[in-house]
Amino acid sequence: MRILRKLRLGTLFRGLSLLLEDVNPVYPMLLLACLITILFLKSSIEEETSKLNSRQDWNTATDSIFYPGCIDTQQYLGDANYMGQNATFLMLARNSELTEVLSTLENIESHFNQWFHYPYVFLNDEPFTEEFQHKVQQLISSEASFGILNEEQWTLTDSSDLDENIQVQGDRDILYGDNPSYHKMCRFYSGWFYRHELVQQYEWYWRLEPAVEFYCDLTYDPFFEMSKAGKKYGFTVIIPELQETIPSLFRSTLAYIRENQIKVGSLWKLFSMDHHLVSNLTSILDKLINYPDDIMDKISDEIAIEHLLDHGLDHKDTTISSFKKLLSRSTTPAPMMTRKYSDLQYNLCHFWSNFEIARVDIFDNEIYRGYFNHLDQSGGFWKERWGDAPVHSLGLSLTLNVSDIHYFRDIGYKHSTLQHCPKNAQGGELTYITTSNRWERKNEQNQYDKGIKTGSGCRCKCPNSAELEDNQSYCQEIWLNLIKDPHPNKPRKPIFEYNELKSVLKKDFLSNLKTS
């Protein structure tokens, strides 16, 4: 391809030179220089663009897109094998958020529910007004239930220093830390939403928030496809949490695991860093080796120091090097791993839980319920600002495997300042057919982004902003590595055994001594 490109450029330049041979000789050279610059920049941009995460194929045997692009929804609904699920949309909202609620409903109805007609459950800590209920029911194509939270579901632990703790979080500029209502919301979604009588009627739920925006059409039933594929939890955004909001959450989680002797699922790998990389380490090396990059360096240093202590000043160059290593070891304290507990550390990654499509029973079970009660009794929902997103993520990893999780890559979604919008599938748009005049799209509304070969979206129209997949690679890379693993559910084990690795490195060390 590069040879062909050079040939084409050469032909272009010769043609331009012939056209401009009678003109001032400086002009052709300037023009050619400009063209070379433009073509070089275009080629560089195209090459960099092709490397973006958002343009890669993420489908694996463990998790893949159910239907890339659009499908014929009427044909899908008429298939004898299709079965609508016992599912609902779930939204916690206030009466004052009616405008934002209606905006979300317009989005989800236009992009999905006008074809599937799933019901809604709205919850509030106070009764919904008649106006709220009337305008909601006017807009949606299905039924709606309106519920109220009881005192137990919406009350923080009664404590004399509750207000003081929340105020301190505000003084420290912890996001939403000084907002009691936010603490209550996080606690409710962490351990109470699935127990509400209106939610208990359903097997599946899709969580919505006020002021949510969807960028793509979803022409299949995610509840049915999740059920058919054996998936239990679906997400569309995975990001790191703010450490200052959850300083003791992971320690509390490990305490619950230890006290109840829980065997965690492989999903645990997505959220935890295991510092136990080498088995049978000495106590000193166990403190010094915390990351893969530490392994060879620290054990090699150990070998050099031992040789110096055993053989003294027998080899000038090696002695100087080994002495420096010994001096460094003796004067450098072990790294302070403040978030490391029993060789484990929370990597702060979590599913952004304001979007969830999941089975109710992954929360409504003995292990998760016990986990929430354990956290609630610790007071972390008000002493700190524990969000329901990391609580859901860590709590579900106690029982679920990577293979139970689905990434809804094809769902374009925005809430607050974060958004994900996929590339459209190439040739998979299909004509938009509405079920109501209300959802008709005219002119620019019915024009969509150009599809690409590795795209997944259906009739997506993305904003002109950086794609989350290309900006937040840390947690996504961990997810991608797990679903690429042919055996993601196998327990994690140390990379090396200390004595075996030391023996190999020591042979190299002695061999280098003889040749130097």
Q: Are residues 86 and 178 in the same domain?
A: yes
386 and 357 together in one domain: yes
- Residue 465, pLDDT > 50, answer yes
pLDDT the model gives residue 30: 54
Can you give the pLDDT at residue 392? 98
Structure token digits, residue 400: 């679920």
Residue 510 has a pLDDT of 75
Q: Are residues 195 and 78 in the same domain?
A: yes
185 and 67 in one domain? Answer: yes
User: In whole numbers, what is the pLDDT of the chain averaged over residues?
Assistant: 85
9-26 pLDDT, tens digit per residue, is 444 444 444 444 455 555
pLDDT band at 101 (very low <50, low <70, confident <90, very high): very high
Position 285 scores a pLDDT of: 73
Higher confidence at residue 492 or residue 171? 171
Residues 376 and 312 both lie in one domain: no
Higher-pLDDT residue of 516 and 376 is 376
Same-domain status, 402 and 331? no
Q: What is the pLDDT of residue 440?
A: 94
Number of domains in the chain: 2
**Among 113-122, 364-373, 422-431, the least confident range:** 422-431
Domain limits at 302? Answer: 278-336+493-515
Residues 6+ apart with CB under 8 A from 76: 82, 219, 220, 221
- pLDDT of the residue at 325: 59
pLDDT bin (cut points 50, 70, 90) of residue 332 is low
pLDDT tens track for 112-128: 999 999 999 999 999 99
- Give 180-184's long-range contacts (Cβ < 8 A, gap of 24+): 180/156, 182/385, 183/156, 183/381, 183/382, 183/385, 184/125, 184/154, 184/155, 184/156
Per-residue pLDDT averaged across 394-398, rounded?
98
Instruction: Say if 40 falls within a structural domain.
Output: no
Residue 317: its pLDDT value, please? 53
Position 419 in a domain = yes
Specify the DSSP element, H or E, that contains 303: helix 292-311
Q: Is residue 18 part of a domain?
A: no
**Considering the domain boundaries, does residue 66 fall inside one?**
yes
Instruction: Indicate the pLDDT class of residue 216, thresholds 50, 70 and 90.
Output: very high
Confidence of residue 335 (pLDDT cuts 50, 70, 90): low
Whether 252 maps to a domain, the answer reads: no
Please determine, for residue 430, whether its predicted confidence score (pLDDT) is greater than 70. Answer: yes
Q: Which residues are marked as active site?
A: 356
Q: Do 313 and 361 belong to one domain? A: no
| Domain-located, residue 455 | yes
Are 294 and 150 members of one domain?
Answer: no
Is the domain of 170 the same as that of 305? no
pLDDT tens readout for residues 173-206: 899 888 999 999 999 999 999 999 999 999 999 9
Which residues is 265 bridged to in the sheet?
none
Residues 247/169, Cβ–Cβ less than 8 Å: no
Q: Output the six-digit token pair for 461.
A: 């129209």
Q: Is residue 328 exposed (0-12), middle (13-18) or buried (19+ Cβ within 10 Å)? A: exposed
Distance CA 236, CA 107 (A): 16
Q: Is residue 309 part of a domain?
A: yes
Residues of the chain above pLDDT 70, percent: 81
With b for 16 or more beta-carbon neighbours within 10 A and e for fewer, the 310-327 pattern comes to: eeeeeeeebbeebeebbe
Question: Are residues 362 and 425 both part of a single domain?
Answer: yes
| DSSP states of 307-359 | HHHHH-SSSHHHHHHHHHHHHHHHHSPPP--TTEETTEEE--EEE-TTSEEEE
More confident residue, 308 or 419: 419
Helix (H, G, I), strand (E, B) or coil at 151: coil
Give the pLDDT confidence score for residue 156 in this predicted structure.
86
Instruction: State pTM to two decimals.
Output: 0.81
Q: In which order are the strands placed within the sheet that holds 272-274?
A: 272-274, 344-346, 340-341
Give the residue with greater pLDDT, 504 vs 428: 504
In a domain, 227, yes or no: yes
Regarding whether 365 and 506 lie in a shared domain, the answer is: no
Regarding whether 235 and 124 lie in a shared domain, the answer is: yes
Q: In the structure, what pLDDT confidence band is assigned to residue 32 with cuts at 50, 70 and 90?
A: low
CATH code, domain with 458: 3.90.550.10
**Cα-to-chain-centroid distance, residue 177:** 23
Instruction: Output phi, psi for 457, to 5 deg.
Output: -80, 160
Residue 52 near residue 33, CB atoms below 8 Å: no
As a 3-state breakdown, the chain gives helix, strand, coil percent values, each rounded to 5, of: 50, 10, 40
Confidence of residue 287 (pLDDT cuts 50, 70, 90): confident
